[in-house]
Structure 1
Amino acid sequence: GAPGGDDSAARLVEDQFRALDADCNGTISTQELVGALRQTLGVTRNEAEWIFSQLDFDGDLELHHSEFVTAAMGARLLLCGDAVREAFGRFDLDRDGKIDLGELTTVLGPRFCGTPTKDIFAELDTNGDKAVDLDEFSTAVVASALDNDQPER
């Protein structure tokens, strides 16, 4: 992938899993996660055990690699969602929950990177209602991020 893309995120998740799997048996036990959470975040034993229970999808009292990766990527998507909402807010100048062509033009100018802003708006406004809502904006941002994450050919 692209530098700083999902490859480095996946590596980070791998490193975190290995660091938590203290006995190197391929799973993270309740004790391993609770100990790490208490040490790094200073949470109580009850809080740490609750966090573990939320991640242990199959209830076998061990976090398998797939459960850990799912949780880590889910957290990343939530953080991305906040960033997308924040970006949307920068374009939604009148705070009505929609971006119209005027708002987009005010922020980007009549052209953005050589493309007429009205063309960008038309691409974002997928349902043709002359407004871009958060769903349309999010879809475009995620699609763009996925496009940019493909390996260069």
Structure 2
Amino acid sequence: RRTGAASETAAAAPASPTDDGFSALLARQIDPHVAAGLQDYAESSRLKRAALAAVAFSAAPEEVASLRDTFCALDSDGTGILSLRQIADALVRGSRPPIAREDADAMVTRFCADGQSVMGYSEFLAAAMPRSVLLSEPRLREAFGRLDADGTGFITVPTLRALMGDLYTDDELAGMIREADSDQDGRLSFQDFQGVVLGRPPVVQAG
């Protein structure tokens, strides 16, 4: 089963408590930014999810402390993996303001359409981190530099493969690049990458 791009790159999930962590989570309530981030992530393209994973990878421990606690509370059996149903139930029962059941179910449906039924710790960070942290230009440039492993100034199918592993075929990766490639040369510049993360459609240059 696909667990998402971030699980291929970021740190292993933290150790989780074995007591009734879910009850503890509900008592603390889920930050509304977490709920909004998860819903936005579900609606994002596969390439945007991968880009967010690359950005979240560079987060400092203090930036993710609260999210780490939330993940651990949900992951009460300590597997390091959450089912999407667990996440949806937590959003319905623990979010303030509450998330409607139909909205939570719609989020699960969008993930399942991509063949995904679970989420690891790293992908949870990519989905739930505050966008104000993820989307600063220095953070984006740092993430882009990590993806541009060969130093060409572009993201290509091979460099995207290094992030996403064997989750997708080369043709699928090329298709993801094509969707955001402003000059249709088969690679992504920093401006293309920034547009993906910020949700801006590419401005295709005239040939």
TM-score band, normalised by the shorter chain?
0.3 to 0.5
* Bigger share in strand: 1
TM-score normalised by structure 1 residue count:
0.39
TM-score normalised by structure 2 residue count:
0.30
Say which one has the larger Rg.
1
Greater relative contact order (Cα < 8 A, sep 6+): 2
